[in-house]
Structure 1
Amino acid sequence: MKTNRSNMATGLLKVAAGVAGGLTLMFSQSLLAAPSASEIIQKANQASYYAGKDGRSEARMRIEDSRGRTQTRQFTVLRKNVEGTDRQHYLVVFSRPSEYRNTVFLVNKNPAADDDRWLYLPDMDLVRRIAPGDKRTSFVGAHIFYEDISGRNLNDDEHQLAEETAEQYVLQSTPKDKGSVEFASFRTWIDKETFLPVRIEYTNAAGEVYRIMENANIEVVDGYPTPTMMRVQDLQSGGNTVVQFRGVNYDLGIPDSVFTERSLRNPPAEWLDRR
């Protein structure tokens, strides 16, 4: 009887040891597999701004102030990656309303330095260069900033993994040059499956959230997960801007000549029409 009990106890100990060993291995593998904050933000940046070799989309923007008054803008966005680099080109051409028709925004994005940004105002036949210090100001009266169009330079902030859930990574980011921006920090919720940021909350020096950006209605287009709606809320003013995207396509073979200063006054009609 004692022998049977001894054998049973030995067997239970082996099972327990096996389970513990398995759990330890799984935990170790989980730790090894967890990406760093740097890896997460790099993947999120790629998913958000670098899908395909190039891309095109039509956008309808609805701007609402704190009193419920609304304005709309319609425009087309063309984008191309510079092969073998992290550089990009963007061209944004407005079609509606009439007072914004043929207003054009051009960006030469360079992660190693300040981006070059130009805005063409047809009523004045004026090309205005957007200074680096103006990149976090309103884009055509919306709650979206110039910097939001092509993305913030990843090297401008320190990033830490603040939280992890079953579906999301949550990063906490603080600016390296606090005097160059209006926020004290921002927190980003990144979907684990697509690596798309689905929510960003900006906080002020008092630790209060004052601005929220959200990406939603994610669809797979040409093999790339793509948000088809973006919303920006200004909690201080009470206003918000919603942008809906349609006609999204990737890998169209857009030529480099589209992204030159010449296109500011002469937008490339053949690439603006839906293909």
Structure 2
Amino acid sequence: MKSLLTLITASLFSLQAMAITADEVVDKANLASFYAGDDGRSQARMIIVDAQGRKQTRQFSLLRRTLEKGGDQQMLVFFSRPSDVRGTVFRVEKKVDSDDDRWLYLPGLDLLKRISAGDKRTSFVGSHFFYEDVSGRNLKEDNFTLVEESDSHYLIDAKPKDPASVEFSSYRVWVDKTNWLPSKVEYLDKQGELYRQVETVQIDTIQGHPTVMRSRISDLASGGYTLMEFRGVQYDLGLPESIFSERSMRQPPVKYLR
């Protein structure tokens, strides 16, 4: 009996030791969401729907290059449609140890505009996505707690370390155990009310990487939403670091956008 109790106790301690932590879940979800392959290219369309059901569209090409897995990245977004945003370029130098550097090029004015850290949670070219949604939020800005584990998902609760820097009080993330991609994110406002929701609509496996092909962000206060759709996704193209530059914002690297 003593030996049996010892074995049971040892097994329990072993299970506890193997239990995954909230930070481990978040790290895996971050890698799956933003770091598939060494680099990547895709075409995308945003369908923006307001509370009255009126629709706008935005089409763009996206180039992304990873400098270090889970670390710094470079990103370029080239808008092609409609005519009022054609030629607009969004560039990101993503950094894990400091604020990201973000720029927006407006061709009509030949203006290169730096996006301040305080503006990262504002509308991305009129959509319900924020600038921060496109490149990903820095994991060091939040504290994470593993709230629940089911057969299919981990539920993570996140609270900002600097509450005054954001419009939300917390957010919850459901991470799919099969692919480590977030299937849903819910944001709570300062009063603890749900006001914003991100949903993964479609996932395809491309070159061995589970990839979000359709997602939807809803503004639950206004009733509007934006649907993001991707196509032509490719990974590991060998994109050179030199194209992720200010020069490419004015002279797009057409060779790598096809």
Matches of 1:220 and 1:170, distance apart in 2: 23
Runs of 4+ residues over 2 Å off in structure 1:
16-33
| Map of 1:237 onto structure 2 | 222
Contact 2:59 2:79 survives alignment (8 Å) = yes
TM-score, normalising length: structure 2: 0.95
Could you give the per-residue CA deviations for residues 174-217 of structure 1, whole angstroms, max 9, x where no partner exists? 00111100000000000112111111000012111100011231
| Map of 1:143 onto structure 2 | 128
1:214/1:25 Cα in 2 relative to 1: closer, same or farther (>3 Å)? Answer: farther
CA positional deviation for 1:33: 2.3
Matches of 2:160 and 2:69, distance apart in 1: 28
CA positional deviation for 1:237: 1.1
| Map of 1:160 onto structure 2 | 145
Q: Matched residue pairs, number?
A: 258
Contact 2:121 2:166 survives alignment (8 Å) = yes
| Map of 1:9 onto structure 2 | none
| Map of 2:40 onto structure 1 | 55
Q: Name structure 1 gaps, 5 residues minimum.
A: 1-15
Secondary structure, aligned partner of 1:214: strand
| Map of 1:103 onto structure 2 | 88
Matches of 1:19 and 1:241, distance apart in 2: 58
Q: Name structure 2 gaps, 5 residues minimum.
A: none
Matches of 2:55 and 2:38, distance apart in 1: 35
- For residue 130 of structure 1, what is the amino acid of its counterpart? I
Matches of 1:30 and 1:76, distance apart in 2: 46
Contact 2:202 2:213 survives alignment (8 Å) = yes
1:85/1:214 Cα in 2 relative to 1: closer, same or farther (>3 Å)? Answer: closer
Could you give the per-residue CA deviations for residues 13-69 of structure 1, whole angstroms, max 9, x where no partner exists? xxx999988876765544332211111111111111011100111101100000000
1:23/1:73 Cα in 2 relative to 1: closer, same or farther (>3 Å)? Answer: farther
Matches of 2:102 and 2:173, distance apart in 1: 25
Matches of 1:84 and 1:139, distance apart in 2: 25
| Map of 2:232 onto structure 1 | 247
Are 1:130 and 2:120 counterparts? no
1:27/1:104 Cα in 2 relative to 1: closer, same or farther (>3 Å)? Answer: same
Are 1:185 and 2:170 counterparts? yes
Are 1:269 and 2:254 counterparts? yes
Matches of 1:25 and 1:62, distance apart in 2: 55
| Map of 1:115 onto structure 2 | 100
The structure 1 residue matched to 2:195, chosen from 207, 210, 217, is 210
| Map of 1:6 onto structure 2 | none
Are 1:94 and 2:83 counterparts? no
Could you give the per-residue CA deviations for residues 120-153 of structure 1, whole angstroms, max 9, x where no partner exists? 0111111100000000000000000000011000
Q: Which has the higher helix share?
A: 1
Matches of 1:218 and 1:178, distance apart in 2: 32
Are 1:38 and 2:23 counterparts? yes
Contact 2:44 2:60 survives alignment (8 Å) = yes
User: Which of these two proteins has the greater Rg computed from alpha carbons?
Assistant: 1
1:28/1:192 Cα in 2 relative to 1: closer, same or farther (>3 Å)? Answer: farther
Contact 2:93 2:100 survives alignment (8 Å) = yes
Could you give the per-residue CA deviations for residues 86-139 of structure 1, whole angstroms, max 9, x where no partner exists? 100000000111111110000000010000000001111111000000000000
1:42/1:176 Cα in 2 relative to 1: closer, same or farther (>3 Å)? Answer: same
Matches of 2:62 and 2:9, distance apart in 1: 50
Percent identity (aligned): 51
- For residue 95 of structure 1, what is the amino acid of its counterpart? S
1:52/1:211 Cα in 2 relative to 1: closer, same or farther (>3 Å)? Answer: same
- For residue 122 of structure 1, what is the amino acid of its counterpart? P
Matches of 1:245 and 1:25, distance apart in 2: 49
| Map of 1:222 onto structure 2 | 207
